[in-house]
Amino acid sequence: MEVPPETYSLGLEAKTERGLLVAEKFDLVIIGGGNAGYIPAIRASQLGMKVALIEKREGGHLGGTCLNVGCIPTKALLHTATLLHDAKNGEEFGVNVSDVEFDYPKAAERREKVVTQLRRGVQGLMKKNKVTVYNGVGSFVEPKKIQVQNGEGTEELEAGKVLISTGSAVNTLPGLEFDGEKVISSDDIVTNNESYPKSVIILGSGAVGVEFASMYKDFGTDVTIVEILDRLVPLEDPEICAELKKSFEKRGIKVMTSTKADPQSLEKTDSGVKIKIAGADSGEQEGAEGEGGSYGGEDAPTGDVDGGDTLEAEALLVAVGRKTVTEDLNLDVTDVEVNERGIIRVDGYGQTAAEGIYAAGDVVGGYWLAHEAGHEGLTAVEHMAGEDPMPKDRSLVPRVTYCRPEIASFGLTKAQAEEEGYEAKEAKFPFQAIGKALIEGEPNGFFKIVSDAETDMILGMHAIGPKVTDLITEGVFAKLVEGTPEEISMTIHPHPSLSEVVGEAAMAAEGHPIHF
């Protein structure tokens, strides 16, 4: 059932007392309606708080980047891409589909239907949980007084506690300003309802870069990835990076690692863009954390390249990471501490340096993932309510990438574990030995477990292959409850299922894999 739009009015029927405007009082005011905002708003209401939620997005749409221009619309298009790939490659399975036609506007229409349905669901949850939603820009007037402003006017809210969850926005490099047509961002892709480029250069190979590379290739686009570091998805286990590169190149995606582009050389032409590239010292730039990309963000080299080649395409997708959104908050009137990258400093519960002011989601850094943001928000409101939540444990945050093949991981790689002083060991099991993977025609990839040789403690898991974004949760839970590979191996996994790869990897970690 659709919730009436008046749920999102500014609420200028503010209280007055002796002719003076009186600020509406709330136990908790949340600034930002993404996963780190609306999810804790619900939990805070369940805990008995009177909650206000401020969202500045046009139309008052909650859900933040993830629901509106990120995870959800992107994965809707990726699902379309998978169906298109399967339709074109069904002959092996005895399914011959001739003259497969791809209707992009229809795919975009379905994408919007999914987004709209979920938006309505979040609206309904706000109403159900009696959360007062304000559509406007929220900023601090005082540490516990928040101003909400939009085209209708201004209102002030008095807060017992404040949760900052204003999220992040797409980032670019000087000289590569977005125009929505030839130099594009991920936001531009998921709001384009008419067409897609027939050739694209993708700058950056983090999750955003490789997901759109995978999608565009299935759409029939000529794809080139330019990555300044020496491997794709450089935050992942090196074997995963190599496996993805092999898979992408087999599909016809051109991968250029250890390569830098010169933003100042960008030339827009009638048919698209041209940009110069050259080899890069892979050690000169560390990848930025987060889902946006790894090319280097604001710190990436931007000067002229010496010699090199020129790439041409209809469009240039800049996927170099994200930047925090804090400029409207007026944090100077608080004791909240922000670093040079705009990231708010918090403890494990989301408490900032200012008493009673918390922050969660992309504004506090981390991996910049929607599920991470929601968990941080829940931890924050439970802590401020006097509950006893577990502080955030970074090693329990699953990182997932929805390209084909999928990638999922959490915790430490073997090299990282050894750097931290563990006597680490690793074991992996290939999907080619899993019956269900062969049945589904996806035998490539593997599942890897990193553990402590002395205690058998799980230190991390890293996987590439079919449905690993779903399979990784078993490992995260095992680590949460301090389980071991032996205990995972004792768990009965249904046959035939892809989940058997987790059990087999665990048996491999114990030295006795069965099917390989």
Q: Is 236 annotated as a binding residue?
A: no
Q: Is 167 annotated as a binding residue?
A: yes
Rounded CA-CA distance 500/423 in Å is: 27
Q: Evaluate the CA torsion angle 351, 357, 360, 366 in order and state its sign.
A: negative
Q: Is 100 annotated as a binding residue?
A: no
Q: Is 210 annotated as a binding residue?
A: yes
Q: Is 233 annotated as a binding residue?
A: no
Q: Is 372 annotated as a binding residue?
A: no
Q: Is 208 annotated as a binding residue?
A: yes
Nearest to 155 by CA among 145, 163, 164, 165: 145
222-226 sheet: strands from edge to edge = 183-184, 315-318, 199-203, 222-226, 254-256
Q: Is 227 annotated as a binding residue?
A: yes
Tokens of 393: 């444990």
Q: Is 181 annotated as a binding residue?
A: no
* Under 8 Å between Cβ of 204 and 227: yes
Rounded CA-CA distance 272/314 in Å is: 4
* Under 8 Å between Cβ of 83 and 199: no
* Under 8 Å between Cβ of 339 and 367: no
Q: Of 79, 493, 495, 515, which is the active-site residue?
A: 495
Nearest to 204 by CA among 196, 216, 212: 212
Side-chain-side CA neighbours of 365 within 13 Å: the count stands at 14
Q: Reduce the DSSP state of residue 47 to 3 states and report it.
A: coil
Nearest to 429 by CA among 511, 345, 320, 327: 511
Q: Is 124 annotated as a binding residue?
A: no
DSSP 142-202: ETTEEEEEETTEEEEEEEEEEEE---EEE---TT----SSSEE-HHHHTT--S---SEEEE
* Under 8 Å between Cβ of 192 and 300: no
Spacing of C-alpha 78 from chain mean position: 14
Q: Is 287 annotated as a binding residue?
A: no
- Angle, CA of 443, 449 and 451, to the nearest 5°: 170
Q: Is 409 annotated as a binding residue?
A: no
Q: Is 283 annotated as a binding residue?
A: no
Asked if 462 is an active-site residue, the reply is no
In the chain, % helix, strand, coil (3-state, to 5) comes to 35, 25, 40
Q: Is 321 annotated as a binding residue?
A: yes
DSSP 67-131: HHHSHHHHHHHHHHHHHHHHHHT-GGGT----S----HHHHHHHHHHHHHHHHHHHHHHHHHTT-
Residue count (the chain): 516
Please list the active-site residues. 495
Residues of the binding site = 75, 138, 166-168, 204-211, 227, 321, 362
Residues of the binding site for NAD(+) = 204-211, 227, 321
Residues of the binding site for FAD = 75, 138, 166-168, 362
